[in-house]
């Protein structure tokens, strides 16, 4: 196999490409990554190049652009970076880009002979369940103006995806959001979970700990509905303790609460008014990798709720960690969870009481569940060792 020059594109380093970058570099290829933010993260053997000055994230943020206009500006910035990159370094043989931001729009203009792979995380499809699943949820803010603005972002994704030699989506659910002509060129390859790190450790489950955690605290991940069910769960299962991880911000969508700046502040006041002691609901904030793994391994019931959208890594990490899970019965979740019904209790979260019932049923059945042999098996089909060879094959590196 000849040595290749491989360039990754994403505004934020390393995003979905962490494991892929590391593997390609370890195979002896020249690997570079163009980004606008990195927060000090590094990957051995990967040349991380953060765009500065007129093509920086700070400059982009100064213009206060949103939606399609921000994608357009990002495309311009990355185009300038491409020209500078080739002058200072090399011409890439392979380019792999996240198509949702605009960073790969001009790849084939500047490097027409490269093998271009576009990663499709989300296509804004107006008929999708993402817009129609829960019309009574006022906090999702799924109005016609939002739908139209998100649809316009597809202009930049469509140019990037249509010029790509191959498209990758991490799940069938996400692939199926694409138009039919783009789906024909799309292969499903999950990002990959490190099953050597995320694995069961039943000896750590010594207390009745219910866990909830995604990137933020927001309506799209059903945070308000979950919080409202805590008092009822504690009334029926008083030995339980809730541990909530994540940052107090909206990451993907929805409105702020009417009475507070953030949903986290709203939740703390609500629980205080309901006379729930601080020892019963622990706010962990952001967890470093070591503490995050330990947190999942201690969980006696992990709650993953989501409106139909991109499925969180945390859900699959909880699966591989052997957590008993209460999860939303939606397409993306079912894609992972249907094979593991002994581990995942799927509920319709639109009926709020189902959340409490799901948690209580899971806690009551725990002693039966954790004795099943298959319960402690890692989901090897979603592990790095399974997913990375698929990426190598797609990139023609085998």
pLDDT tens column, 196-226: 999 999 899 999 999 999 999 999 999 999 9
Residue 360 neighbours by CB distance under 10 Å: 18
Distance in angstroms between the alpha carbons of the first and the last residue of the chain? 7
Residues ≥6 apart with Cβ < 8 Å to 277: none
**Domain residue extents for the chain:** 5-192+383-394, 202-379
**Angstrom distance (rounded) from CA 366 to CA 362:** 6
Question: Is the CB of residue 357 less than 8 Å from the CB of residue 347?
Answer: yes
Mean pLDDT, range 15-33, rounded to an integer: 97
- According to the model, what pLDDT value does residue 336 have? 86
- According to the model, what pLDDT value does residue 41 have? 94
Residues paired with residue 30 on neighbouring β-strands, in sequence order: 5
Is a pLDDT exceeding 80 seen at residue 109?
yes
For residue range 262-293, what is the model confidence (pLDDT) as tens digits?
999 999 999 999 999 999 999 999 999 999 99
For residue range 31-45, what is the model confidence (pLDDT) as tens digits?
999 999 999 999 999
Q: Which of 181, 177, 175, 244 is nearest to 209 (CA)?
A: 244
**Of 8-17, 37-46, 143-152, 270-279, where does mean pLDDT reach its minimum?**
143-152
Q: What percent of the chain has pLDDT over 90?
A: 87
- According to the model, what pLDDT value does residue 368 have? 57
- According to the model, what pLDDT value does residue 380 have? 77
Q: Which helix (H) or strand (E) holds 235?
A: helix 223-236
For residue range 337-382, what is the model confidence (pLDDT) as tens digits?
777 778 899 999 999 999 999 999 999 987 655 555 454 444 678 8
- According to the model, what pLDDT value does residue 370 have? 57
- According to the model, what pLDDT value does residue 131 have? 92
Supply the DSSP string of 323-335, one letter for each residue: --EEEE-SHHHHH
Mean pLDDT, range 50-60, rounded to an integer: 96
- According to the model, what pLDDT value does residue 375 have? 43
Average pLDDT, the chain: 94
Pick the CATH number of 5-192+383-394 from 3.40.1390.40, 3.40.50.2000, 3.40.1710.10, 3.30.429.10: 3.40.50.2000
Confidence of residue 113 (pLDDT cuts 50, 70, 90): very high
For residue range 294-324, what is the model confidence (pLDDT) as tens digits?
999 999 999 999 999 999 999 999 999 989 9
Mean pLDDT, range 85-109, rounded to an integer: 97
- According to the model, what pLDDT value does residue 379 have? 64
Mean pLDDT, range 101-130, rounded to an integer: 97
Is a pLDDT exceeding 60 seen at residue 234?
yes
Question: Is the CB of residue 178 less than 8 Å from the CB of residue 186?
Answer: yes
What topology does CATH give the domain 202-379? Rossmann fold (3.40.50)
| Token output for 59 | 């400059």
Is a pLDDT exceeding 90 seen at residue 253?
no
The residue with greater pLDDT, 30 or 338, is 30
The residue with greater pLDDT, 305 or 142, is 305
Domains 5-192+383-394 and 202-379 are alike in CATH topology: yes
The residue with greater pLDDT, 118 or 335, is 118
Provide the whole-model pTM: 0.93
Mean pLDDT, range 140-144, rounded to an integer: 88
Burial of 88 (0-12, 13-18, 19+ CB in 10 A): exposed
Question: Is the CB of residue 319 less than 8 Å from the CB of residue 337?
Answer: yes
Q: Which of 270, 265, 271 is nearest to 250 (CA)?
A: 265
**Angstrom distance (rounded) from CA 178 to CA 160:** 13
- According to the model, what pLDDT value does residue 369 have? 57
SS3 353: helix
The residue with greater pLDDT, 392 or 377, is 392
67-88 helix and 144-163 helix, angle to the nearest 10 degrees: 30
Tell me 167's DSSP state. Answer: E
| Token output for 276 | 């729930």
């Amino acid at each position: 196999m000849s040595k290749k020059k491989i360039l990754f594109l994403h505004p934020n380093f390393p995003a979905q490409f962490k494991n892929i970058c590391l593997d390609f570099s370890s195979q002896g290829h020249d690997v570079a990554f163009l980004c606008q933010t990195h927060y000090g993260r590094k990957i051995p053997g990967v040349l991380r190049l953060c765009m500065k000055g007129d093509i920086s994230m700070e400059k982009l943020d100064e213009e206060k652009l949103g939606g399609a206009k921000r994608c357009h500006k990002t495309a311009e910035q990355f185009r300038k970076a491409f020209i500078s990159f080739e002058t200072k370094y090399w011409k890439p043989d392979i380019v792999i880009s996240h198509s949702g931001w605009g960073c790969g729009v001009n790849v084939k203009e500047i490097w027409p002979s490269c093998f271009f792979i576009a990663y499709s995380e989300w296509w804004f499809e107006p008929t999708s369940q993402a817009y129609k699943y829960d019309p009574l949820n006022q906090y999702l803010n799924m109005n016609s103006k939002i739908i139209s603005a998100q649809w316009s972002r597809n202009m930049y994704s469509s140019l990037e995806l249509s010029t790509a030699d191959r498209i990758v989506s991490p799940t069938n659910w996400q692939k199926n959001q694409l138009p039919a002509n783009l789906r024909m060129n799309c292969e499903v390859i999950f990002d990959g979970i490190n099953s050597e790190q995320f694995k069961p450790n039943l000896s750590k489950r010594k207390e009745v700990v219910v866990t909830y955690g995604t990137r933020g605290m927001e309506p799209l991940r059903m945070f308000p509905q979950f919080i409202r069910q805590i008092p009822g769960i504690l009334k029926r299962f008083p030995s339980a303790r809730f541990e909530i991880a994540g940052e107090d911000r909206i990451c993907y969508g929805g409105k702020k609460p009417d009475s507070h700046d953030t949903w986290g502040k709203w939740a703390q006041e609500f629980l205080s008014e309901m006379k729930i002691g601080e020892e019963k609901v622990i706010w962990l904030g952001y967890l470093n990798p070591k503490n995050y793994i330990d947190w999942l391994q201690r969980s006696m019931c992990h709650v993953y709720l989501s409106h139909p959208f991109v499925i969180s890594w945390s859900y699959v990490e909880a699966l591989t960690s052997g957590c008993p899970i209460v999860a939303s019965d939606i397409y993306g979740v079912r894609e992972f969870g249907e094979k593991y019904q002994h581990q995942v209790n799927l509920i319709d979260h639109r009926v709020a009481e189902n959340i409490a019932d799901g948690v209580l049923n899971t806690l009551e059945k725990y002693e039966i569940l954790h004795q099943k042999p298959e319960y402690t098996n890692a989901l090897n089909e979603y592990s790095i060792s399974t997913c990375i060879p698929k990426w190598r094959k797609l990139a023609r590196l085998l």
